[in-house]
Amino acid sequence: TTADVTDITPIYQFCKKLIDTYENLQTIPYDKVLNWVRTKIETNIHEYQCIWLNGQKVGYYHFFQNGEKMELDNFYIFPEFQKQGIGTQVLQKCIEESQRPIFLYVFQRNTGAVALYQRLGFRIVENIENSRYIMLRE
């Protein structure tokens, strides 16, 4: 289902947790980054999808056209539902639905996510400030 305004705060909190966990906080304008993230979510909330399993919300993602490619953004499975294949299923669905190349940003230190994307055919195409990768599946 499509996300709504009640999902803004949980999505924002997930993004903040990823930034706090994986970003090099000394090298970014932290408050500015968080404000940008919050605005991006609020502006696009009706493009986000909720991920459901057995009637329970288990995560979110934003999959949209960005230029000639599709972008996967803010892809998050709640911690208690990770490592159960849910993320793989969502990614496979996105891949099947798109005839376009798909790209995403991922924190380099989020090794579980990087490994998941690589298993599904994404490759690292850019290293951003030794903090994030851009990964692409063509």
pLDDT per residue as tens digits for the range 12-35: 999 999 999 999 888 899 999 999
Q: What is the pLDDT of residue 119?
A: 96
CA distances from 25 to 16, 20, 60 (A): 11, 7, 24
Rounded to whole angstroms, the Cα distance separating 133 from 138 reads 16
Model confidence at 129, pLDDT cuts 50, 70, 90, reads confident
CA distances from 108 to 24, 40, 67, 100, 128 (A): 11, 22, 24, 24, 9
Model confidence at 124, pLDDT cuts 50, 70, 90, reads very high
pLDDT in tens, 36-72: 999 999 999 999 999 999 999 999 999 999 999 999 9
- The answer to whether 48 and 61 have CB atoms below 8 angstroms apart is yes
Q: What is the pLDDT of residue 12?
A: 97
Helix axes 8-22, 30-44, angle to 10 degrees: 150
Q: What percentage of the chain has pLDDT greater than the value 70?
A: 100
- For residue 72, give the 3-state DSSP assignment: strand
Average model confidence (pLDDT) across the chain:
95
Rounded to whole angstroms, the Cα distance separating 120 from 43 reads 30
Reply yes or no on whether the pLDDT at 130 is more than 90: no
Pairing label, strands 69-77, 102-107: parallel
